[in-house]
Each structure stands twice: as structure tokens, then as C-alpha cells.
Structure 1
């Protein structure tokens, strides 16, 4: 065969291979054909399906393993990545929380903070300013409540309660489980906290409009969206950051070019010459490098942080609400006109505003890259794009995803493969996820059930496995808080740690066991379960039989021999529920920090059984009735060390 013909044949072979092992979505972008190497790890198809469900849902529901097998493992995962399954029943549940759909401006108008309510009430004559903090406080509070009711205002706590409720319902009921998990992952990665009052009201829109739509897209888009969001701008203080060198465009230049009216010129001059009280703030610049992109060992210096902070000066909030943030600036914009401002470098994008008069126009250098003087808004975009595409970012994001979905200490080989995919796919999160789950490391014994559930994951997996009906989701939030995880209230920009050692200590184990027993015995208001229906209304012959039957239902495709041996002694104690409840009440509600071996969990359980009366399992059934016995069995399973793993 002649050389040119060989080249052509080789090309045709490569083309056919590409068509066979890849596909194209409707938009024309190349996607990787998914093949799972679980057989190499010695797993059966059922075990592999259970592993997928444990990592990419908040917990398997009854029959989920069979449903995944029927669809096909790879097809199921692709469907979860796409995240387009309808959720009619969930949508109906969420209809009652209509304010979770409000824009930030609408939130500012409807849910003003207390200090603002007081100012408005004084302004409108409802409250005498001399009565604030003095005299009859009960009457004073009643005046404020009446004022709010008369003006359609609500306390911010009601919005946050709706926001928390929707998170719990989505995690429990959505058909797009992986998207919900990724929403939680990326929110935690770009953490903002309700503990900072100034940004609390912006957090619902941050999750809804910034995080949720971008969880499987390009990382650069997600990074850019978070950088411009009011929640992030306020949480890390970049909205106040200003440069020492003002805009190069003078008021006189603008006057000559636009022939502005005197009033408009006055307003613009006020805006341009506004005192830069905040000065340069490096908080966001530091965290965007250390936590959002490069990682702490990403190769940047303190000088890079300072220079990046200068690049991002002038990135702030657009005016929101009638009397909300930036109300004075809104009047300036109205007078000057957005068209005139845009011509002079102002950029308004939804709730984001770039103000060139607060930007440092000097030359900067970040990570060896020079930004010429006068770059304005575009140099901030260029900086974030550079960080999103940096080699250190590819490794950092890949390792964090692998830590979340594979194990606490992912193999370097896996991280490198994911990082290479990150680089070659322009930071396509979906492709990185495919590379991760298609790797042998995802299916090894080091990965199976290696991860420890957070309190939120524990609660969600429990209600899902028991097919619970949730009518008061906030009750679950209270229990999750007791177990050590107050969702949306983690103060540090790092977000909650994603390693098992953070969650497990004696107090957390006691509270987890207490939660399991309370849930199974239906002592949590607004959470209904039907334990009998899970077993097709078949009544177990004994507590031991119930332990094995419900263990298999709640933890499918696991070897429960050791778990059954460990839990059997606990079923002989009719006072177990009260013992656990009392012990948990004494345990501190604190963030767990010290890792405990699984044997320590056994020791905690054994300690609850000290001096227990020696009674057999059937005696428990006869003494307490079968429903009590079954609830205790299921509660013990949920509180067991095996159920804590995923």
C-alpha cells in the first residue's frame, strides 16, 4: 500500500473511532461516550448501581437499584448529568414558597432589614424617633409590626425559612439528584453565609440564579457569575473596594462630548468624586485565588493578591429596590442616563455594576501577566478568565470534585486525569465528571462506602430510604443543626469541610442515633413514614429478622453480616430510645472536628446498653408491640456506623 493511501486509511480509522466512541449533543459540542469499568473492580452490576446511587443521589429509594439497571448504568448517569427530568410533584410542593422566586430588588422591597424598617417607620410617622429603644418596648414592637403589615413588608427570617425549606424538599424529592448535589457542592465551594446580615437577603438568588444553572457548565461561566453576584460582592467586601487612581475621563471631557444638562453634570460629579472611604479591599482577591481557583498552593504571592484586588476595584452592586441598596445611585443614573454612563465605561449587568470612577486605572501585574493602564471593566474579566484556565485551577477543582465524590484522599492518577480533561474541555464540568466516574479509581474498594455523610446528607438519605412524606421541612433543618451542620450559616468562606473526620465525634454520633430513632418512631412533626409498606406490609417474625430485612431495604447491595452482629444487642434494650435521647441532650451541639474510629461508635452504642436487662428480641416485641419494635430496629439502622457511610 502506498504511503498516501496508508495515511488516508489511518485517517478514516481514526474518524470512525471518534464516531464510535463519542457523540454530539444538539448544540454540536463533542461529548465523551461513558463506559464504567466496574467489572475490573470485581463489582456486580447491582453493586455498581448501588454505588452510583450512593454517590450521585441523596440516597437510594426503594426500587432505585432496579430502575437504574433497567435503564442502564451509563444512561442513568448521563440523564442525571443532563438534569432535565420533570419534577411536577416537587414543583407543586415549592409553589407554597413563592418568595424564593423574588429578584434581589423585590426582596429589598418586601424584606427590609430591621434598621431600615425603623427608618421607614420614622419617616412615615408611624414611630416617634424618640421612642426607639426607650419606654414600652412591647408597644414599640407592635408599632413596627403594624407598620410592616400596613405596607406589605415581612421579616427577613420568613424569606430565609422558605429558602431553607426549598433546599430540603429539593434534596428529598427532585428527580435530578445529581444536579442538586452539585448545587450543594458549588454553593459550598463559593460559600456565602447568612451570618453576614448585609448579604443574607441576596443568598436565595445567589443559589437560584448563579449556582444552580451553572453546575455542569463551563467553570469560567460559574466563576464569573459568582464574582458579579451581590451575595459574593458583599460577603467578601469587594463592593466597597476602590482604587487610589480614579478614572482618566474627566467631567469636562464628558460635558464637551455629550452636552449634558447642568443637573446631570452635578449628579455625575457627585458620583465621580464620591469619597472612597473603603479603599482597596483584598478579601475577594485573596479568596478567589486561594478558595475559588488556584488553591492555597497555586503559585500566587501576596503581591499577586494586592494587584488582583486593584484589577477588581469598581466591581460593585447596581441599585436595588425602591429604598434598597444604592437608591441614591439610582437617582444619579436616572439623571445622567444609562447611555451616557455606558459610553464612559460604566457597565451594568443585572444586579452588578462596574463604576470606572472607583477603579484603579494604573498598570498592574498578576501572576506575571501585565494589565495595561486604563483597562477598566474588561481587565477584571480577563483576570477571572486567566484564573479559570490556570493549570493550578484545573488540579484544585479536580481534586475537590474527587474528594467530594470518590474518597477523602483521591489518588493522584485520578486527579491528573480529571485535570487533563478540565484543560482539554475548556473547564467543562460535565466532562470532568464523566472522566471521574469512568476511571477505575472511582470503582475500587478504596472508594466504596469510604465517604462519611454530613448531617444534611444523613437526614436526606434517611427520609428518602424510608419514602417519607415531608410537610414541615424546617423540622428537619432543626435536627440537622443538632447534628452539627447549620446549613447556609457556615461563616468561613471555605464552606463546610468535605472530609469524614470533621463530622464524627461522640456528640454527633449520639445525635445521629437520636435522629434515627426519632424519625423511625415518627416523633418529628411533619414527617410521616409507613414502615410496613416498605416491606409490602409483611410483618417480620422478630426484631432480628426485621433488622436483616430493613437493613437490606435501607442499605441495598451491602454485606450486612457484621452490621447485624453489631446492632443485635441494642435491640434487646426496651429503654434504648430514652437512653439515647437523654445522652444526646447532654452532648454539646458543636461542629465535630476529631475523627473517631468505627470501633468508637461501637463503644458509644455499647455504653448505652450498660446494665441493660437480658431480654431476647421476641420479648421486646411482646412487651412493646410490633410497631414500637420495628421503629426501634429502623432507628438503630439509621444511627448505625454503616448507614453513616455512602
Structure 2
């Protein structure tokens, strides 16, 4: 019990008191725009900082490669996101669902309950076998699905998670992947809500990723018209009441009006909770967005493009506009006069009202402040300097929401480098596991194991239920159990006990095994945390290196979160046997301790 308590106190205590000092090497190179030298950082420190903040972690030797390319040139190239990704594509080619449109996904990936009802209706499965709990019918159901060409939604989820892990690890356009995660979290939709899961692949692929480094107005409009968002926040069913739809007064209750999306559009997506709007503005915005829905899939997918405003009669005798999977149903739209934050909409302006509302919100001064602060929280500090946020907001307004320009002015600001020197941003679980894989140059054959560890530590991809998305502050992620789970992960990865994760620690050090644990600690700290190697780290971590029962202690201390069979260390040894170079026990323990250390949790 004393040993277990000591471990808990050690991990928690050093996380909160350990200073984030850095080494002090200087090449003497002078930068033109990025003022990191004013903050006391050398070129190498600045390069390591950019890799820590704007990628999922530095691969071995990447600091040197960045310096060869040039600090500013590297960042500009990451903003352009035009690097070829042939290596990544080799991993993605195994997934056959990545390029499917929503029509095809809905046709292939079927709800098991619906399939079972169809199978019973067609006489493939006897109702009695289901009612009696006879599990033998399941094989008949699988055969029935195979003959129909149908698959379970879990297979789509497996591919979605797999591509996310592979992109984060292997993409050369790292900033684009980081920003894709940022915007997905900002415009969160959850696979846990009804049919949303089937629309998430196209939502991330066609809406978020292409606009992640583009214009905020374009991104906002694309999310508003996405089936994933329309279903998640219920705007697909929002219909004007009869009097309003005919242009009459809005005195009667809008029984078909749904305010969920309008509220989150203003509170979470644009203006912020203190953005200067009222509840009445939310209701009026919801009226503006009535009729914004999802086109019928399959044989009913007919209509006209959004560029044609003339209208035509179509599905269910309604005038409608179709743009991809989005549909504006004119007869469901509130044709009356609306007033949102002093701006008049209508009467009878139809689809264009919603476009104008979104443009107004995207270009509002409160939006500039809110989005700029959220970007600064992600890349700078949990409590970013207001001067930095104001500078970014000014650029946001000046450029009409140019995301690249806002990120560039952020990195050009002295406040960014002063805060970066502190290195006090906490990695989320996904950032931790993917970053460790990149830092150790681990080859991943089974991305779902990496996802499982992220899930176990509290970050389940695509499944955060609230529209807020995951909080991006350290206090949300760090507590006693979380730290112990992180240590557990570090030891498992370094020891080669995660199936499908091939690690060669000796290769990191060019095949040379350090003579002692102390020498290994100093050497691998410099490899894994380049230019952030305070001597105090060595003295704090050394006591753990001589503990032969560290693995058992960490497992016992983190026993509140039960491992599933796929992550059990004992079974993992068998599954991974022969696939990973044998790690010297001393070296694996050294690297595991580094990955679980408080300093490594920072970016």
C-alpha cells in the first residue's frame, strides 16, 4: 500500500510542480518574422516548439530536417498542406469505404435491427428463434447480409477510426490533420446519435478537412448544410408553423420549429456565449433556417443545384433546392419577416436568408474574438494573453476569416513564443498515443489498438455526445487515474506489448545500447523530448528505473479502468510475439517512464 501511494503522489506531484525548462543551444541563425529569439529560444528550440504545437509529434531527426527547410518556410508549407502523401495512401488503400458517398454508405451499412426485421419478413429467419433467444439465427443473419451486400455499421466505424489514426501518424501535412481535429471538435457531431454515424465519414472528408485551413465562412456554411450536422442538431425536422409559412404573424406557437441548431450556431460555432445575442435572436435565427434539411437518398435524389434559385416542383409537391446531400424545402420555410440581432430577413427570401444569416454570424466581431481565442487556447495556452487574441481577431476581421492568415499572425506574435517557452499545454489522450508512436518511429499494423488506448484514457473519437466537443484544457484530462493510465500506456508501448505496434528502441539510438539506466534516461530524453531536457527530469525519474515491479504497480494503481482482452498485457505478449524486436528490459522501462512522465504530457 505504501508503494502504491508513493507512486500516485510522485506522478501527481511532479506533474504540477515540474518546471518546463529547456536546453540553451543556439545556432546563431537569425529569423525574419518569427520573434522567438526575443523570448530567449534558439533555432532548435523554436523548431522543436513548432513540431510540438502544430504536429502530432516530432519523428526522430525531424528537428534537423525542419531547420534545413527553414523555420518559416516549414510553417508556410504546412499552411499550404500540399505535400505528397504516397506513404500514407499505402495504409489508407486497405479501407474500401473511405471514398463512398452517403448514398452508398446508407445502402451498404445497415442497422442490425432493420436487417433482422427484413430477414424475418422474407422468411429467412423464424421469429420464434429470435424470441426464444436461440443464438443460432445469427449465422443465418450474417449469411443473409452477405448475400445482400450489406455490412454492419461497426465496420464503417472501424474504417473511420483506422484512417484517422493512420492520417495522424503518417501524413506529411500534419497541420492539416491537427486542424481537421480542431474543427471537427469545434463543429462536433457524435456517432452516438441515431443515424449520424453513417454521415460522419463524408462530414470529415468533404466538409471539415478541405476547409480546415481555408475560410471560416465557407467552413461554417458547409457544416450547416451537412447531413451529419442537420441530423445531429435536429434542424432537418425544423418546419415553420402554418401561419408563418404563409407569411402571417408569428403569434401562434411554432410547433414544428426546432431551435437546437440555431442556438449552437450562435453559442458554440460563432459568437460565443457572451456574443451579444438574446433568446429571441435564437428563435428568429431558427425561423430563418426552417426548411434546411437532408435530401431523400436513393431513387428520390432529384432536383436542381443551389445555384439555380428559380425553384421547381419536385419531391412531395414541394419547391426545393438541392446541393449535394443538402435540400432546402421551400414550403417548410418560414416566409415571414425575421429579425436577428438587428438584421432583417425576409419576407419570402427563401434559401438565401440562411446563407445571409451564416455570413452575418461568420463576420461578426464577437465571432472574430471567439474563434481567435479558441485557436489560441489550442495552440498557445489554456489562458492565452488577451493581446494575442486581439491581434488574431483583428486579422480575422481584416481577412474575412482567413484561417491561414490568423494562424500566421499568431506565430508572428511575441506572445506566442513567450507562452510556448512554458510548454504548459496538456496533450489529450489521442495526442499522447499518436505522439508517442511518432516519437518512437513505431510501425503500426493495427490502428484500432491505438484508438483503444485513447478511448481508455477518456478520448473516444467521434463519440463525444455534447455539441461542445472535448474541452481543450489540461484540468479536463489530468487526474490521478489519468496519469497512471498514461504511464501504463508508455510502458506497454515501449515494451512491445501493444499488438500491431512494432517498436525498435535501439534503432532510435542507431543501434547503440546505453551502458546504464541513467545513461539511457539522459540519452532517450534528448531523443524523445528534443531541446526540452532539464536536468531535474533525470533526478525525478531515476528512482523509477531501479524498481523491478514498476509494471505491476502501475497496473494495480490503474485497476479502476479494466483492460479488455485485446489490451491485456499477458495476451498481448502472445499476439505480438515475433512481430517486434525484443526490447532490453532496462531500455523499455526507461522509455516507458519517459512517456509516462509529467514532462512528456506537455506540448
1:148-202 deviations in Å (ceiling 9; x for gaps): 0110100000100110011011111110000000000000000001111221111
2:57 to 59, 71, 91: 59
SS in 1 for 2:539: helix
1:77 to 75, 97, 103: 75
Aligned equivalents of 1:396 and 1:364: distance in 2? 25
Residue 449 of structure 2 is aligned to residue 475 of structure 1: yes
Aligned equivalents of 1:568 and 1:363: distance in 2? 70
Aligned equivalents of 1:235 and 1:587: distance in 2? 30
Residue 601 of structure 2 is aligned to residue 631 of structure 1: no
Structure 1 spans left out of the alignment, 5+ residues: 1-32, 250-275, 323-328, 590-624
- Match in the other structure for 2:96: 98
The count of residues paired between Structure 1 and Structure 2 equals: 543
Aligned equivalents of 1:220 and 1:401: distance in 2? 16
- Match in the other structure for 1:292: 269
2:42 to 44, 60, 64: 44
Residue 531 of structure 2 is aligned to residue 531 of structure 1: no
Alpha-carbon offset, residue 353 of structure 1: 0.4
Structure 2 spans left out of the alignment, 5+ residues: 1-30, 248-252, 305-310, 564-581
- Match in the other structure for 1:373: 347
Aligned equivalents of 2:68 and 2:177: distance in 1? 23
Q: Normalising by structure 2, report the TM-score.
A: 0.87
Equivalent pair of 1:241/1:313 in contact (CA under 8 Å): yes
Equivalent pair of 2:234/2:258 in contact (CA under 8 Å): yes
- Match in the other structure for 1:643: 600
Write out aligned runs for 1:562-581 (5 A). Answer: 562-581=536-555
Alpha-carbon offset, residue 140 of structure 1: 3.1
1:502-542 deviations in Å (ceiling 9; x for gaps): 00000000000000000000000000011001001111010
1:240 to 233, 237, 240: 237
2:293 to 316, 330, 339: 316
Aligned equivalents of 1:125 and 1:453: distance in 2? 53
After superposition, the Cα gap between the structure-2 partners of 1:447 and 1:558, relative to the gap in structure 1 and judged at 3 Å, is: closer
Aligned equivalents of 2:204 and 2:541: distance in 1? 40
Alpha-carbon offset, residue 204 of structure 1: 1.0
Equivalent pair of 2:312/2:320 in contact (CA under 8 Å): no
After superposition, the Cα gap between the structure-2 partners of 1:34 and 1:91, relative to the gap in structure 1 and judged at 3 Å, is: farther
Aligned equivalents of 1:369 and 1:447: distance in 2? 44
- Match in the other structure for 1:510: 484
Residue 529 of structure 2 is aligned to residue 555 of structure 1: yes
1:467-501 deviations in Å (ceiling 9; x for gaps): 00000000011111111111111100000000011
SS in 1 for 2:224: helix
Residue 204 of structure 2 is aligned to residue 227 of structure 1: no
SS in 1 for 2:339: strand
Equivalent pair of 2:105/2:198 in contact (CA under 8 Å): yes
SS in 2 for 1:585: coil
Alpha-carbon offset, residue 421 of structure 1: 0.3
Aligned equivalents of 1:347 and 1:97: distance in 2? 33
SS in 2 for 1:98: coil
1:575-628 deviations in Å (ceiling 9; x for gaps): 111111222123589xxxxxxxxxxxxxxxxxxxxxxxxxxxxxxxxxxx9800
1:381-408 deviations in Å (ceiling 9; x for gaps): 1101100000000000000000000111
SS in 2 for 1:643: helix
After superposition, the Cα gap between the structure-2 partners of 1:132 and 1:181, relative to the gap in structure 1 and judged at 3 Å, is: farther
SS in 1 for 2:272: coil
Residue 357 of structure 2 is aligned to residue 383 of structure 1: yes
Aligned equivalents of 1:73 and 1:94: distance in 2? 30
Residue 179 of structure 2 is aligned to residue 182 of structure 1: yes
After superposition, the Cα gap between the structure-2 partners of 1:98 and 1:277, relative to the gap in structure 1 and judged at 3 Å, is: farther
After superposition, the Cα gap between the structure-2 partners of 1:382 and 1:508, relative to the gap in structure 1 and judged at 3 Å, is: same
- Match in the other structure for 2:256: 279
1:109-137 deviations in Å (ceiling 9; x for gaps): 00011232134324444245x44851243
Equivalent pair of 1:345/1:376 in contact (CA under 8 Å): no
Equivalent pair of 2:240/2:254 in contact (CA under 8 Å): no
1:252-298 deviations in Å (ceiling 9; x for gaps): xxxxxxxxxxxxxxxxxxxxxxxx99711000000000000000000
SS in 1 for 2:490: helix
- Match in the other structure for 2:107: 109
2:367 to 380, 393, 401: 393
- Match in the other structure for 1:145: 142
- Match in the other structure for 2:430: 456
1:29-82 deviations in Å (ceiling 9; x for gaps): xxxx98201111111111111111100110011111111111110000000000
1:497 to 471, 479, 490: 471
Q: Normalising by structure 1, report the TM-score.
A: 0.81
Write out aligned runs for 1:584-623 (5 A). Answer: 584-587=558-561
Equivalent pair of 2:186/2:269 in contact (CA under 8 Å): yes
Q: Spell out structure 1 runs of 4+ moving beyond 6 A.
A: none
1:35 to 33, 36, 47: 33
Equivalent pair of 2:303/2:320 in contact (CA under 8 Å): no
Aligned equivalents of 1:175 and 1:319: distance in 2? 38
2:162 to 159, 162, 165: 165
SS in 1 for 2:131: coil
SS in 1 for 2:97: helix
Aligned equivalents of 1:61 and 1:452: distance in 2? 19
Aligned equivalents of 1:132 and 1:421: distance in 2? 65
- Match in the other structure for 2:571: none
Equivalent pair of 1:58/1:464 in contact (CA under 8 Å): yes
SS in 2 for 1:365: strand
Cα RMSD, aligned residues only: 2.3
Aligned equivalents of 1:626 and 1:466: distance in 2? 13
Aligned equivalents of 1:500 and 1:302: distance in 2? 32
After superposition, the Cα gap between the structure-2 partners of 1:371 and 1:552, relative to the gap in structure 1 and judged at 3 Å, is: same
SS in 2 for 1:348: strand
